[in-house]
Chains A and B, each alone.
Chain A
Amino acid sequence: EDQVTQSPEALRLQEGESSSLNCSYTVSGLRGLFWYRQDPGKGPEFLFTLYSAGEEKEKERLKATLTKKESFLHITAPKPEDSATYLCAVQAHTGGFKTIFGAGTRLFVKA
């Protein structure tokens, strides 16, 4: 069964303290892996899409990387406004366009 596991469940950082979030996945042939940011009561906001192992993408303080079994979201020198839940999702080659989400990592950045 296709599965996505994110760790840690919650992460508390001081402003400027860099860290990484992990997304481990088990799918029958990865079609794509997606990172989203979700603020309370809002819809997921797109961050990155990765398709193949070794791929990396960057945007401001965020960098996403992908291997054959997991993805990392690196946050460099975070600011309080980076506080949110970060969601990882995967889509397999089989199963139509079903997209499976992990439970997310809640990030708190303190000034």
Chain B
Amino acid sequence: EPEVTQTPSHQVTQMGQEVILRCVPISNHLYFYWYRQILGQKVEFLVSFYNNEISEKSEIFDDQFSVERPDGSNFTLKIRSTKLEDSAMYFCASSLLGYDTQYFGPGTRLTVL
């Protein structure tokens, strides 16, 4: 069964460093998403991406964040200068039609020291 994969599973970084989180969505899906979940809190939408463009972003997704689909299979989230409060689980998701079911990856746990 097709699934969304994410690497790395755990990333530890120093405050102020840049990190890139990687995702491989389900191969025939067209819509891609990033979410974050701070420990013990709800899943929060960051950004949706379609046709090589951001289609929607939340207030959390400020200038420190960027997304890219560098090739036909990967989807990345870059955080330019990490802060302590960026520590969270980051989930990638993909869907075929945008309004249909989103399938989530296992997540990357980001720890900022």
Residues of A at the B interface (CB closer than 8 Å) are 31-32, 34, 36, 41-46, 49, 87, 89, 91, 95-104
Of B43, B56, B98, which contacts A87 at CB under 8 A?
A: B43
Whether A42 and B55, one on each chain, are in contact in the complex, defined by CB atoms closer than 8 angstroms, is: no
Of B35, B50, B103, B109, which contacts A46 at CB under 8 A?
A: B103
Q: Which residues of A contact B4 (CB under 8 A)?
A: 43
Whether A49 and B100, one on each chain, are in contact in the complex, defined by CB atoms closer than 8 angstroms, is: yes
Residues of B at the A interface (CB closer than 8 Å) are 4, 31, 33, 35, 41-45, 48, 50, 55-56, 58, 89, 91, 95, 98-107, 109
Q: Top 9 A-B pairs ranked by shortest CB distance?
A: A96-B56, A43-B104, A97-B48, A101-B43, A96-B55, A98-B56, A103-B42, A44-B104, A97-B98
A97–B109 Cα distance when bound, in Å, is 24
Whether B101 and A46, one on each chain, are in contact in the complex, defined by CB atoms closer than 8 angstroms, is: yes
Question: In the complex where A43-B91, A44-B91 touch, is A98 in contact with B106 (Cβ < 8 A)?
Answer: no
Whether A34 and B102, one on each chain, are in contact in the complex, defined by CB atoms closer than 8 angstroms, is: yes
A42–B109 Cα distance when bound, in Å, is 10
Q: Which of A31, A49, A99 has the most CB of B within 10 A?
A: A99
Of A31, A36, A46, A99, which contacts B45 at CB under 8 A?
A: A99
Whether B107 and A97, one on each chain, are in contact in the complex, defined by CB atoms closer than 8 angstroms, is: no
Question: In the complex where A42-B106, A43-B106, A44-B91 touch, is A98 in contact with B101 (Cβ < 8 A)?
Answer: no
Question: In the complex where A98-B45, A101-B42, A102-B42 touch, is A43 in contact with B99 (Cβ < 8 A)?
Answer: no
Among residues of B, the one whose C-beta sits closest to the C-beta of A31 is: B99
Whether B101 and A34, one on each chain, are in contact in the complex, defined by CB atoms closer than 8 angstroms, is: yes
Q: Which residues of A contact B104 (CB under 8 A)?
A: 36, 43-46
